[in-house]
Amino acid sequence: MKLATSISVLLLAAGMTSGQANAEEEFNTIQTQSINNCQAFLPAGAATRARPLGIKNDSTTTAFPVNCSWDWDFDQSLFGIDLVQAFFTNPTAAPVTVNCTFVIGWETSATQFIAKSTSVPAGATAQGGVQLLPGDAAGGVIDGPVSMSCSLPPLVTMNDNVVGWTSDDASPEAP
C-alpha cells in the first residue's frame, strides 16, 4: 500500500469531531497522477507520452528530463514540506534505476540540488519510489518550492506522486 494511502487512512481513523476547535496538527497530502504536475522534454530519439495514468517512455533510450513541480499550502504549513514522493512502473524483464534530482528554492535565492535514485523491480511498481524528506535538506527543513527532474529509462512510466505537509488545524470544522 502506498504511503499516501496509509496516511489518509490513519487520519480518517483519528476521527476528528465536527464543530469542535482542534489545536492539533493535521497532515495534508496532495496525491495526483504525474500528467497533472510533470512534463517531459524530449532528447533526440526519445518518445515519451502522457497517458491518463502517467508519463511513459516508449523509446529504447533514456528520456531526460521529465520535470515535476508540486503545489502545497506554503502559508498554512508549520514546518515546510514533510514528504515528496514519485512512483514508477517498470514492465521490462529486468530491474532499472531511476535517477532524479530534487530542487528546493527559488531561482533568485539559495537553491539546493539533492540527487536521489530508486531501483524499480522488473514488472512491478517500486513501492515508495523516489522520495525527499526534511532530513535530506540543509537544516532539516524543506521550506521553499520543490521541483524534480528525472531520467526515465526505456518503457518506464512515472505514475502518481505525492506532496505532504503539516498544518495547524486550529479553526472550527464545519458541521
Count of domains for the chain? 1
pTM of the model: 0.76
Q: What are phi and psi of 130, to 5 degrees?
A: -100, 135
Range of the domain at 122: 3-13+26-169
**Is the pLDDT reported for residue 59 higher than 70?**
yes
Maximum Cα–Cα distance across the chain:
58
Q: What is the CATH number of the domain that holds 9?
A: 2.60.120
Q: Model confidence over 9-25: pLDDT tens digits?
A: 223 333 333 334 445 78
**Is the pLDDT reported for residue 56 higher than 50?**
yes
* Predicted pLDDT at 31: 80
Question: 174 lies in a domain?
Answer: no
Question: 149 lies in a domain?
Answer: yes
Question: 18 lies in a domain?
Answer: no
Question: 100 lies in a domain?
Answer: yes
Q: Model confidence over 61-112: pLDDT tens digits?
A: 888 888 888 876 666 666 778 888 999 999 888 999 999 999 998 888 889 9
SS3 track for 13-80: HHCCCCCCCCCEEEEEEEEEEHHHHEEECCCCCCCEEEECCEEEECCCCCEEEEEEECCCCHHHEEEE
* Predicted pLDDT at 128: 61
Distance, in Å, from the CA atom of 47 to the CA atom of 56, rounded to the nearest integer, reads 8
Question: 103 lies in a domain?
Answer: yes
